Amino acid sequence: MTTEGAASMPPLGERVRRWTTMWGLLRHAGVPLVAVGLALSVLLALLPLVSIVALGRVLFLLPSMTDGAASAGWSDLLAVLGVAVGALVVQQLLAPFQTGIVETIGRRVDQRCIDRLLGAALSDAPLALLDDAEVLDVVADARAAFARQNMSPGDAAGALVPLVGRYVQLVGAAALVGVVVSPLAGAVILATALVMRAGVRGTFSKLTPIWKTLHPQRRRMYYLRELATTPGITKEVRLLGVLGWLRERLRRETMAYLEPQWTVNCRLQLWPFVGFSAIGLVGGTIVLVLVALDDTLDLFALGVAIQAVLIPLRFGVYFPECDVRTQFGLLSFEALERFEQRLRSATPEATREGSDAPVPHGVIRFEDVWFRYADDGPWVLKGLDLELVPGTSTAIVGLNGAGKTTTTKLLARLYEPTRGRITVDGVDVRDLPLEAWRRRLALIFQDYLRLELSVTDNVGLGAPELRDDAARLREAISAAGADGVVDGLADGLDTVLSGGYAGGRDLSGGQWQRIALARALLAVSGGADVLVLDEPTAQLDVRAEAEFFERFLADGAVAAVARERAVTSVVISHRFSTVRPADQIVVVAEGRVVEQGTHDELLAADGRYAELFVLQARRFRSDSPDDPDPDPHLDPDPDAASPETALTAGGTR
C-alpha cells in the first residue's frame, strides 16, 4: 500500500502499516545479519534479569553469613555474586557489538533506499514533475535523510533490533514478578508498562504532522546553507556585501523551522509525561501493596520483585536508541514512496514500457504545438509550426521569452506538448521508444553539464561507447575548438576539471563551453543525427564565435560532416549576424513562427528579422562611448533557466 493510500487509514491501521513497513525494510540488511542482531538483543535483554535473580539469591543468603567467610553457604554466596557480576560484565562487552550490527543494518537499508531514490530521480519521467512544490519537498526530505541530516529509513529499521530487546526484557520482568509474587502482580506491572508505552508513542506521533508541515521551511533552510557554502556562489555573495543579510536570513529560516517544533515539544513532553509517571506510580504501588500483603514471601522473592518492578516503570519515558529513529526515520522512506508514486502516475505508459519499434529517420515537424509549464501558467508556445529537414541547418532566433529553448526541450521530450504533436517521418515521437529517440539527439543547453570529472569523461558522455577511443575524442575536441584548452592541461585528457582535486584545473566559462560542444559533436560521431545547440557561443569571444559558426553552419568541418551524414542541425542564437549561413532561419515570437527563410530572403521581406538584424549591426558599428545600455535582445534566452533547475536551486523558479 502506498503512503498516499495510508493517509486515509484510521490511526490503528496507519500504525500497523508503519510497523509492517519497518520490519519489511530489514530484509534489505540480509537475514543472517538481522538474525544475529536479534539474538544478541535478546541475550542483552535477559542478562539484567539474570543479575536480578542472582542478586535476589545474594539477598536471601546474606542473613546466614554470620561467620563471614567461615559460614557454610559462603561459597554459594560467592558463586551467585559471581553470576551477577559476570552477567553485568558480559552485557558491557556485548553492547558495542549490538551497536555495530545496528549501524550495519542501517547502512544496508539506506543503500537500498538510495539506489531506489537514484533510480527514481534518473528515470524518464517528465521534468514537469520537478516543478511541483510537493515533489520538491519530498525529494528534499529524502536527500536530507540519506545525507544524514535527518533520520533515515536505515535508522528506523536498525532501531527495531534494540526495541525487541526492550520488550523481551519487559515480558521477562513481568514473568519474574508473576512467579515470585503472584500472577496478578505480574499482569498489573505488564499492563502498566504497556499503557505508558502507548502514551509515549502516541505523544511522539503528534510530532509527525508538525514536522510534515515544515517542508517549505526545511527546504529553504537547506538551500540557504548550500548558498553560504557553495564555491562560485560564495564569492559573489561576498562581493555583493550581503554576508550579513545571508547570515540573518539563514538564522530567520532556521528559527522558523525549529520554533514550532520546540513549542510542540515543550507542550507534549511536560504534562503527558507527568501523567505517564503517575500511571507508573499507581501500577508500582499496587504491586508493592500486593508484595506487602503476602506474608509468605522470603528475602529472595522480595529482592527479585523490587528490582523487577523497576524495569517496566522505564516504559514511561522514551527510548533514545529507538523512539526518535522509528518515529521519524520512516518519514524519509514514505517520502521516497510518494516520489515513486508521483513518477509512476506522471510517466506515460509507453515511456515506462518502451517499444522495439525502430526510430524512423526523416523530416521532423512541429504541428500546431502548444505548451505551458504549468496547468495554470501562461502559454509559452501557441500553435508553433516548424519543419526540420535532414542534412540542413536551421537557426532559431527571437526575443527573450519567445519560446526558443522550450522548443528544443520538447524536441528532446524533456516535456511533452500540451496540445499538438511533434513527428519524425510522420510518426508521433511520443509513440517511439524514449531512450532510442534520445540517442538520436546531440543537444546542449545554455545550462550545460560541468562535471568535476576528467576531460575524457566530460566529453565521452556524449557517446559512452566512444569514451575510450582517444582519436575520436580528439577529433570532437578539435572540431569544437577545444584542442588548445586540452593541450594546456597538465594531464591532458585525464585532467580533472576542478581545482578542488589534486592535479585538477578550473576552466573559464568559454573553455567549459568548448568542452560541452565537444561532447555534442562526439555524440554526432557516435550516430546522433539531430544536433541542437542552444546559445552555443554565449561565453565565447567574437573571434572564437565567428570561427565556430564557420565550422558549424558554413563550409567548415562540422558542417561537412553534418551534410555527409544527413544530420539535422539546429542552433539557437541571439546574435543575428552569426546565423547568416544557416540554410533556414526561423524567427519565433510570442510562441509561434512569424518568419522563416534564408538570410537574404528575410532581409528582403523587411520584417522583424530585418529590423533586429539592422539594430544589432548598427550597435556593432557604433564606436561612441555614449552608447545606450545594451539591447536586452542580446541577453541569453531566459526560458533557458528551466524549471528543472529548481531542484538544485532550492526549488525556486
Helices marked H in 129-242: 133-146, 153-180, 183-205, 207-213, 215-229, 234-240
Domain count, the chain: 2
Stronger pLDDT, 215 or 303, i.e. the higher one: 303
Which CATH number goes with the domain that contains 209?
1.20.1560.10
Q: Is residue 642 part of a domain?
A: no
Task: Indicate the residue among 297, 324, 346 that finishes a domain.
Answer: 346
Q: What is the mean pLDDT of residues 402-424?
A: 91
Task: Indicate the residue among 346, 361, 380 that finishes a domain.
Answer: 346
Q: Is residue 514 part of a domain?
A: yes
Asked if 23 and 163 touch (Cβ cutoff 8 Å), the reply is no
The Cα–Cα gap between 326 and 106 comes to: 12
- Using 50, 70 and 90 to split pLDDT, how confident is the model at 559? low
Stronger pLDDT, 514 or 577, i.e. the higher one: 514
- The burial class, CB within 10 Å (0-12 / 13-18 / 19+), for 403 is buried
- Using 50, 70 and 90 to split pLDDT, how confident is the model at 593? very high
- For residues 454 and 341, state if they share a domain: no
Which CATH number goes with the domain that contains 492?
3.40.50.300
- Quote the cell numbers at residue 110: 539506506
Predicted local confidence at residue 420, as pLDDT: 95
- For residues 451 and 342, state if they share a domain: no
Convert the pLDDT of each residue in 504-557 to its tens digit: 888 888 888 889 889 988 998 888 989 998 887 766 677 777 777 766 665 555
Stronger pLDDT, 527 or 563, i.e. the higher one: 527
Q: Is residue 545 part of a domain?
A: no
- For residues 336 and 479, state if they share a domain: no
- Using 50, 70 and 90 to split pLDDT, how confident is the model at 104? very high
- Using 50, 70 and 90 to split pLDDT, how confident is the model at 643? very low
Q: Is residue 46 part of a domain?
A: yes
Q: Is residue 205 part of a domain?
A: yes
Predicted local confidence at residue 323, as pLDDT: 85
- For residues 450 and 341, state if they share a domain: no
* All residues at 6 or more sequence positions from 29 whose CB lies less than 8 Å from its CB, including other chains: 104, 105, 108, 109, 157, 158
The Cα–Cα gap between 409 and 426 comes to: 20
Which of 98, 90, 100, 91 has its CA nearest to residue 39? 98
Q: Is residue 257 part of a domain?
A: yes
Q: Do the bridges between strand 393-398 and strand 381-388 make them parallel or antiparallel, or are there none, so unpaired?
A: unpaired
Instruction: Report the share of the chain in percent with pLDDT over 70.
Output: 83
- For residues 35 and 144, state if they share a domain: yes
- For residues 329 and 473, state if they share a domain: no
Predicted local confidence at residue 564, as pLDDT: 65
Predicted local confidence at residue 72, as pLDDT: 67
Predicted local confidence at residue 98, as pLDDT: 94
- For residues 166 and 54, state if they share a domain: yes
Stronger pLDDT, 582 or 73, i.e. the higher one: 582
- Using 50, 70 and 90 to split pLDDT, how confident is the model at 3? very low
Task: Indicate the residue among 346, 374, 400 that finishes a domain.
Answer: 346
Say whether 595 sits in a helix, a strand or coil.
strand
Q: What is the mean pLDDT of residues 399-419?
A: 89
Convert the pLDDT of each residue in 159-218 to its tens digit: 999 999 999 999 999 999 999 889 999 999 999 999 988 888 878 777 777 877 787 788
Q: What is the mean pLDDT of residues 309-322?
A: 84
- Using 50, 70 and 90 to split pLDDT, how confident is the model at 290? confident
Convert the pLDDT of each residue in 125-137 to its tens digit: 666 666 666 677 6
Q: What is the mean pLDDT of residues 561-573?
A: 78
Q: What angle do CA 142, 148, 153 make, to 5 degrees?
A: 55
Q: Is residue 146 part of a domain?
A: yes
Predicted local confidence at residue 557, as pLDDT: 54
Instruction: Report the share of the chain in percent with pLDDT over 90.
Output: 28
Q: What angle do CA 457, 459, 462 make, to 5 degrees?
A: 105
Residue 515 CA to its chain's centroid (Å) = 28
Range of the domain at 339: 19-346
Convert the pLDDT of each residue in 227-237 to its tens digit: 777 766 666 77
Convert the pLDDT of each residue in 43-78 to its tens digit: 999 999 999 999 888 887 777 776 666 666 788 888
- For residues 123 and 267, state if they share a domain: yes
Asked if 486 and 460 touch (Cβ cutoff 8 Å), the reply is no
Q: What is the mean pLDDT of residues 440-450?
A: 86
- For residues 57 and 205, state if they share a domain: yes
- Using 50, 70 and 90 to split pLDDT, how confident is the model at 356? low
Q: Is residue 329 part of a domain?
A: yes
DSSP string, 390-423: TT-EEEEEESTTSSHHHHHHHHTTSS--SEEEEE
- Using 50, 70 and 90 to split pLDDT, how confident is the model at 633? very low
Ranking 35-39, 146-150, 214-218 by mean pLDDT, the lowest is 146-150
- Using 50, 70 and 90 to split pLDDT, how confident is the model at 647? very low
Per-residue pLDDT for 502 more than 70?
yes
